[in-house]
Structure 1
Amino acid sequence: MTSQITMVLPLPPELRSARLSALASVAVHLRDLGAARVAVDQALADPDAAHDLLGSTARIAGLSPAHEAEPEDGDHVLTTLAACCHPALPEAARIALMLTTAAGLPVPDTAGAFSVPDDTMAQRIAWAENRARGALGAAIPEREAESHLGRVLDVLLLIFDDGIVHPNYSVDLPREALETARAVVQLFPDEQEPKALLALMLLTRARRDARLDDDGSLRALSRQDRSLWRQDEIQEGLFLLRGSQRDGRTGPYQIRASIQAAHVTAHEARDTDWNRLLALHDRLMQVSPSDAVALGRACAVAEVHGPETALESVERLGLDNHLFHATRAELLRRLDRTEEADRAWSAAVARVRSATEHQRLRGELER
């Protein structure tokens, strides 16, 4: 089932969290993401219903008043978000469900983000919503809540990062992911990793006006005009990062946000504390190792121990994706191995997914 109602975007932050809370309560009771989404969109279409979104949504969905606000409703949001991000769903389906369910994008906007026809996206969403039904039937045990929330945050970051790489989409995906993360922070105020994810997004997005050259290629951090960085977003990100560290626990998003913080708090590129960045990357490799983290670490190694040492660590990875070849090319360039660097850049460009990404790889890695 898909909604035919066109919503006015962007939703204000307070309505995003209210919408998600109402949708989650109805979805769990009906065990149907699609029907819940239609009910919420219909309720939002009536300005007079916005002040009682949960009650009006429940009435539209045909629930009795007793179902409108039960004691366990706080758990419904995590159950619903976890259903959208269930590991049995393909990655593209998880992203589409998060955009329509959590971010509140109409189906046509989600279709635009994927560059597919509206009818095609409606069919894909209906299929994914049907597959997610089973995950709506049982509450998430407390011992598993952290891992489920972590998967939700991972999908939000996928959406954010994809929008950074492809900035010409008809939808501002980084903003949608960021504002959805803000709603998650509001709905899970005692959890630290959502705050850290929101901090990471703010610290990254704050550089958007300085990130690209006139031809659309990436401009390295060392060459960015830091006066164009948005200080209000940086300060909010730093505030959230500090808040995420208050209980003494360390999660992967706290470390990743700390890496971004080390970059944006350097007044000039030469002031960057690369020893701290290397230590943070080492910690991230312990907490949440991945090939992408290892490649990021190599850039810090290059600054602390030299590009030759970094190149050795990169080549030991033996990968074959565009980021691997682009990182290798940059290190070879720094070693004046020009012909090898050119071949590595060609390999990187050959492995990108789109013309936009091809254009941006004419530039540099943003490290």
Structure 2
Amino acid sequence: MNTLLRELAPQVLSALVRKFGDFDSCEDAVQEALLAAATQWPVQGMPDNPKGWLITVASRRRIELLRSDVARERREETVAAMAPADPALVPGVDDTLTLFLLCCHPSLTEASQVALTLRAVGGLTTAEIARAYLVPEATVAQRISRAKQKIKSAGASFQTVGDVETVLKVLYLIFNEGYTASSGESLHRVELSSEAIRLARQLRAQVPDDGEVTGLLALMLLTDARRPARTRPDGALVPLTEQDRTLWDTDAIAEGVSLITSTLPTAEVGPYQIQAAIAAVHSEAREVGDTDWPQILALYDVLDRLAPGPMVTLNRIVAVAMVHGPAVGLEQLSTAAQDPALADHHRVHAVRAHLLDLAGDSDTARTEYELAARRTLSLPEQRYLRSRAEALA
């Protein structure tokens, strides 16, 4: 039932906002309707028209929010919860894409875009978002409240604001925080990566011909497919080269490869598609030694032209080292490390340590692994990096 409610949440909210035009109160009303459904449906049974039921209850609750007579509100809330759905309220169109764009309004910070997307489009409660991000519930509530006020102050109406590129960025932020948590005891926050994949599927249903939307979904599937092999039973990180590939999710890999294979020849090429293609090459290698590093390097060359950035630079340097040798990779890393965005970043030290180890300089590699461990906030990464340093002692 929770899955159904989360799938219906954006459709119900978009219907209310289109009808009433007030995102703030409509979003509050939908959250209360979802809560009512979660409480009543298990007892009374699911209505014949779940979406219509939610729209009816949320619409009436939206009106109640504007009234001051608490007793009357309670009486009407009871009636609304028991009333059949009004077919006239159920729209014939799905405005989920417009709702995505509204939640990713350019006036909002990334943190606010993420929180509002998870709440309004994902149907997650404030408490669920807070648990996923390991922050106080009050912090998330404040972000959502400020985001809604900012949208109102910006005069944003229910129309295309922002762009799909921003939505993709927000979804990827959600996915990455779930796949490799930036801090804390756990490497994964599965609820976030799974939610990002679910939302990406919803977005692709809205714009099936958008190559980058398909590319991001493929990238998420191919990356998440490795999750079962990324940690040991004690939670320790297992890098790609050491993973038991029999644990990878073959269904997710097959879907991801199919998506990117069908999209690349027909769509305008973008960075998410190239990243998905890189992930597909890794996924198709049965053993580490089977990895087609020249193809991966060629793809990183394309990605570096399309979307240059510090992490792309580091990943490309690893591919360079695998094709041309660690000495060439170390030379390029020395130049890249001058970029302020990479200054003292733990991944620079980790990559340097890996390349030094490949080159046979164990002592310097150990020092670099120790530096990397001190600079990351992720406890699983710290443990892995320290274990690598100890192995070279």
User: How far apart, in 2, do the equivalents of 1:83 and 1:351 lie?
Assistant: 36
Q: Structure 2: which amino acid aligns with 1:250?
A: V
Q: What is the aligned-residue RMSD (CA, Å)?
A: 2.8
CA distance in 2, matches of 1:170, 1:294: 26
Report the Cα distance in structure 1 between the residues aligned to 2:10 and 2:232, rounded to whole angstroms: 38
My pick for the range that moved more, 294-303 or 39-48, is 39-48
- SS of residue paired to 2:160: coil
Contact 1:109 1:171 in 2 (8 A): no
Tell me the number of residue pairs that the alignment of Structure 1 and Structure 2 aligns: 346
In the alignment, which of 278, 282, 285 is matched to residue 259 of structure 1?
278
Question: 22, 26, 30: which one pairs with 1:40?
Answer: 30
User: Which of 238, 245, 263 is the equivalent residue of 1:244?
Assistant: 263
Q: Equivalent of 1:338, from 362, 370, 380?
A: 362
Q: Is 1:50 matched with 2:22?
A: no
Q: CA 1:32/1:218 → structure 2, altered by over 3 Å: closer, same or farther?
A: farther
Mark the CA change 1:169 to 1:101 in structure 2 (over 3 Å): closer, same or farther: farther
Deviation, 1:65, is: 9.0
Partner of 1:4: none
TM-score normalised by structure 2 residue count? 0.79
Choose which of 324, 327, 333 in structure 1 pairs with 2:351: 327
CA contact (8 A) 1:197 1:253 kept: yes
2:379 to 352, 355, 366: 355
Match of 1:266, as an amino acid?
A
Please give the TM-score of this superposition, normalised by the length of structure 1.
0.84
Q: Distance in 2 between matches of 1:67 and 1:51?
A: 10
Quote how far apart the aligned CAs of 1:213 are: 3.0
Q: Secondary structure at the match of 1:172?
A: helix
Question: Which stretch of the first structure deviates more once superposed, 299-308 or 45-54?
Answer: 45-54
Stretches of structure 2 that go unaligned for 5 or more consecutive residues are 38-45, 65-85, 389-393
* Equivalent residues in 2 for 1:55-66, closer than 5 Å: 55-56=55-56, 57-62=58-63
1:99 equivalent among 109, 118, 137: 118
- 2:241 equivalent in structure 1: 222
Distance 1:116 1:135 in 2: 30
Contact 1:28 1:136 in 2 (8 A): no
AA aligned to 1:259 is I
Measured after TM superposition, the shift of residue 38 of structure 1 is: 2.7
1:13-32 deviation line (CA, Å, top 9, x unaligned): xx544432332343355554
What is the rounded CA distance, in whole Å, between the counterparts of 2:324 and 2:62 in structure 1? 61
TM-fit CA distance, 1:108: 0.5
Q: 1:271 aligns with which of 290, 299, 304?
A: 290
CA distance in 2, matches of 1:135, 1:257: 37
Partner residue of 1:150 out of 165, 177, 193: 165
Q: CA deviation at 1:129?
A: 1.9
Q: Which moved more, 1:253-262 or 1:324-333?
A: 324-333
Preserved CA contact (<8 Å) 1:156 1:177: yes
Offset from partner CA, 1:70-120 (integer Å, 9 cap, x none): 8xx66x534432332234323222221122122211111111122223233
Q: Residues 311 and 160 (structure 1 numbering): CA distance in 2 closer, same or farther, change over 3 Å? A: same
What is the letter of the counterpart of residue 244 of structure 1? T
Q: CA contact under 8 A between 2:112 and 2:144: conserved in structure 1?
A: yes
Structure 1 residues 123-162: aligned runs within 5 Å: 123-133=142-152, 134=154, 136-137=156-157, 139-140=159-160, 148-162=163-177
Note if contact 2:177-2:192 (Cα within 8 Å) is conserved in structure 1. yes
- The Cα offsets for residues 297-333 of structure 1, whole Å up to 9 and x where unpaired, read as 1111111111111111122112221222211221122
Report deviation, 1:34. Answer: 3.7
Deviation, structure 1 residue 61: 3.2
Is the alpha carbon distance of 1:354 and 1:29 closer, same or farther for their aligned partners in structure 2, counting shifts above 3 Å?
A: farther
Residues 138 and 183 (structure 1), Cα distance of their counterparts in 2 relative to 1, 3 Å cut: closer
User: Where does residue 5 of structure 1 map in the other structure?
Assistant: none
Highest CA radius of gyration, 1 or 2?
2
Distance 1:25 1:338 in 2: 62
- Secondary structure of 1:95's partner? helix
1:316 aligned residue: 335
Separation in 2 of the partners of 1:103 and 1:219? 30
Does the 8 A contact of 1:32 with 1:129 survive in 2? no
**Counterpart-to-counterpart distance in 2, 1:192 and 1:135:** 31
Secondary structure at 1:61 match in 2: helix
SS at match of 2:107: coil
Give distance in 2, aligned partners of 1:175 and 1:286: 30
Structure 1 counterpart of 2:358, one-letter code: R
How has the CA–CA distance of structure 1 residues 226 and 170 changed in structure 2, closer, same or farther, with 3 Å as cutoff?
closer
Match for residue 20 of structure 1?
Answer: 10
Measure how far apart 1:229 and its partner are. 0.8
- Equivalent position of 1:297 in the other structure: 316
Show the counterpart of 2:195: 176
Counting aligned pairs with the same residue, the percent is 37
> What's the CA shift for 1:204?
0.8
Q: Does 1:186 align with 2:240?
A: no
Aligned 8 A contact 1:329 1:342 in 2: yes
Whole-Å separation in 2 of the counterparts to 1:124 and 1:95: 10
Rate the CA distance shift 1:108–1:16 in 2: closer, same or farther, 3 A: closer
In structure 2, distance between residues paired with 1:169 and 1:274: 27
Q: What SS does the aligned partner of 1:270 have?
A: helix
Q: How far does residue 68 in structure 1 lie from its aligned partner after superposition?
A: 5.8
